Chain A
C-alpha cells in the first residue's frame, strides 16, 4: 500500500509524517481473564480527571456507565448468558410458571453450539486507535491527530466541538461532552506513554486483561493466547480488531472475545467511514492544495 492511504494495511505513524517513529503502541484486551472489576474505568478517570457519568442504575447486569462516552474512556460491558434448558427444567421441577424476564436476545448466540454452562462475559472496551481513523480523517481543525506511537488523540486545546468525528467513528466511541461541547476519548495516555509509562488502565488491571505494549508483540501474544485457550477447550475464543485486512486496517486496541462481537456490542465488520475519500480527493486534490496554499500566503501577507 502506498503512503497516506486511507484504507488497507500500513504503519500509521510513519504514514503521518513521523521520521524514525517509535514502534506502534496499543492495547490487547483479553476478555477471557476480565473480572469486571472496573479498575480500568476508575484508573482512567483518576489519571485524566474525567467527570463522572452520573449516578444511574441501568440494570444492564453490573454496567452502570452504559458505554464509552466523553466521560467514560474505558467501559466494562457485562453480558449474562443464561442456559435456557436447565432453567426450564428447574422451574418445571418447582412447579412454577416462568413468566420471563427482560433478557436481551443477543445476536450471535443462535449461531453458536448450545452451551451447557451459564456464562457472565465481561469486556473492557476502549477506543480502537484505528489504523485508518475516520474521526481523524474528518477532523477539520487538526484537533484529532496521529501520534508518533500510531495512536489517535484529540487535542483539547484545538477541538472546536464541531462533532464531525462523532459520526465518522465506526465504533461509536468518540463523543462530545455536554458542558464544554468538545470531543473526548481515550488518548492511550499520550502523556504517560510519552514518558515511557504504561497507560493508567493497563497499569491498574489486576489480571492483565488489559495489556499495553508494542502492537506487533501484542498481536503475537494474542495469537498464542487464542491457541492456548483452544487447546484448553475454550473453542469460542477469537480475536477482534487484530487483522490489518479489516475495514479499518486493524485496530491499535484489539480484543480477545469469547463470543461474537455483537454480543459485546461491537460492530462485526467495521469499515472506516472515509474509505472512499481518496477517490474523491484524486478529483479534488489539486484544487484543494492550491486553495490551502493561497490561504497560507494571504495569512502570511496579512501578518506581514
Chain B
C-alpha cells in the first residue's frame, strides 16, 4: 500500500523534526538552547487576550482616578482585565488594586446566593431570591407604617419615616444612586447616606 507507507514516512519525518536532539544536530542551534529546544507548547503559545471573544470597555472600580480598563471575555467568562491604553486619564496603566480586578470579579470567594440569618439565629441559611425580595418589600412597608410622621408639632408637613436607613458605597453607579434616592424619597425615607459623608 504505497499511500499508507507515504503517510508513515511523513509522520516519522515530522516526528523526527520535532525531536529536539534531531533539530539540535541538524539545525542552527547545535548547543540546543534556542530554536531546537522550543517545545510544542511554547511554539503554540498565544496571549489569551488575542483569543478572547470580545472586549468590554470599562472603568476601574477602586479609587476615583477613573482608569480605563479592558475586560476580555471568552466563553462568557472574564479571562483578563488590563488597562486601556486609549484612556487619556490612565494611558493603559493600573495600580495593584486595579491589576487585581480579574481576581475581584472571578474569585470563588464571591457570594452568589442570598443568605439569611434569623433573629437570634446562630448561623446563615440559604434563601431563595424571590422570597428574599418579597421579605424585604414587606419589611420596608412595615417599618414605614410603624414610624410614619405626617406632620410636625406645628402642623407643618413631614411626610416621612425615620424608621429606615441606608448607607451606600461610592462604587455604585450614578444610575443606581439615582434610583435609590428616587425610590426612598418617594417612600418618605430620608436617612439615605453614602460613603461620600465619610
Within 8 Å CB of B32, what residues of A?
Answer: 142
Within 8 Å CB of B21, what residues of A?
Answer: 292, 295-296, 299
Within 8 Å CB of A144, what residues of B?
Answer: 33, 37
Which B-chain residue is minimally distant from A193 (CB atoms)? Answer: B47
Given known A19-B28, A203-B82, contact A39–B99 (CB-CB < 8 A)? yes
- Determine whether the beta carbon of B27 is less than 8 Å from that of A206: no
A136 to B47, CA, bound (A): 24
Q: Mark A191-221, 1 if CB is under 8 A from B, else 0.
A: 1101101001001111000000000000000
- Determine whether the beta carbon of B47 is less than 8 Å from that of A39: no
- Determine whether the beta carbon of A17 is less than 8 Å from that of B42: no
A301 to B98, CA, bound (A): 56
Which A-chain residue is minimally distant from B29 (CB atoms)? Answer: A17
Residue A242 at the chain B interface, CB threshold 8 Å = no
| Chain A-chain B contacts (Cβ-Cβ < 8 Å), number | 131
Residue B50 at the chain A interface, CB threshold 8 Å = yes
- Determine whether the beta carbon of B47 is less than 8 Å from that of A155: no
Chain B positions 32-77 with a Cβ under 8 Å from a chain A Cβ: 32-42, 45-50
Given known A153-B42, A194-B46, A295-B21, contact A17–B36 (CB-CB < 8 A)? yes
Query: Could you say which of A26-34, A40-48, A227-235 contacts chain B?
Result: A40-48
Residue B190 at the chain A interface, CB threshold 8 Å = no
- Determine whether the beta carbon of A205 is less than 8 Å from that of B39: no
- Determine whether the beta carbon of A145 is less than 8 Å from that of B25: no
Given known A39-B95, A137-B33, contact A194–B45 (CB-CB < 8 A)? yes
Given known A18-B28, A203-B82, A295-B21, contact A43–B99 (CB-CB < 8 A)? yes
A31 to B38, CA, bound (A): 33
Given known A155-B39, A204-B94, A206-B95, contact A13–B47 (CB-CB < 8 A)? no
A192 to B47, CA, bound (A): 5
Measured CB to CB, the closest approach of chain A to B55, in angstroms, equals: 13
Residue B16 at the chain A interface, CB threshold 8 Å = yes
Interface residue total, chain A, C-beta cutoff 8 A: 51
Question: Which one of A43, A137, A300 has the greatest number of beta carbons of chain B within 10 Å?
Answer: A43
- Determine whether the beta carbon of B99 is less than 8 Å from that of A158: no
A148 to B45, CA, bound (A): 13
Within 8 Å CB of A200, what residues of B?
Answer: 82
Within 8 Å CB of B35, what residues of A?
Answer: 16-18, 148
Given known A145-B37, A147-B34, A204-B82, contact A190–B42 (CB-CB < 8 A)? yes
Measured CB to CB, the closest approach of chain A to B155, in angstroms, equals: 59
A158 to B39, CA, bound (A): 7
A192 to B45, CA, bound (A): 9
Measured CB to CB, the closest approach of chain A to B168, in angstroms, equals: 27
Within 8 Å CB of A136, what residues of B?
Answer: 33
- Determine whether the beta carbon of A4 is less than 8 Å from that of B93: no
- Determine whether the beta carbon of B45 is less than 8 Å from that of A191: yes
Residue A83 at the chain B interface, CB threshold 8 Å = no
Residue A38 at the chain B interface, CB threshold 8 Å = yes
Q: Mark B75-108, 1 if CB is under 8 A from A, else 0.
A: 0000011110000000011111111101100000
Measured CB to CB, the closest approach of chain A to B90, in angstroms, equals: 8
A63 to B48, CA, bound (A): 30
- Determine whether the beta carbon of B33 is less than 8 Å from that of A16: yes
A290 to B195, CA, bound (A): 74
Within 8 Å CB of B24, what residues of A?
Answer: 292
Partner of A191, one of B22, B37, B47, B95: B47
A-B contact pairs, 9 of them (CB 8 A): A17-B28, A43-B94, A142-B20, A142-B39, A145-B33, A145-B34, A189-B47, A197-B47, A197-B50
**Which residues of B approach A to under 8 Å, CB–CB?**
12, 16, 20-22, 24-25, 27-42, 45-50, 80-83, 92-100, 102-103
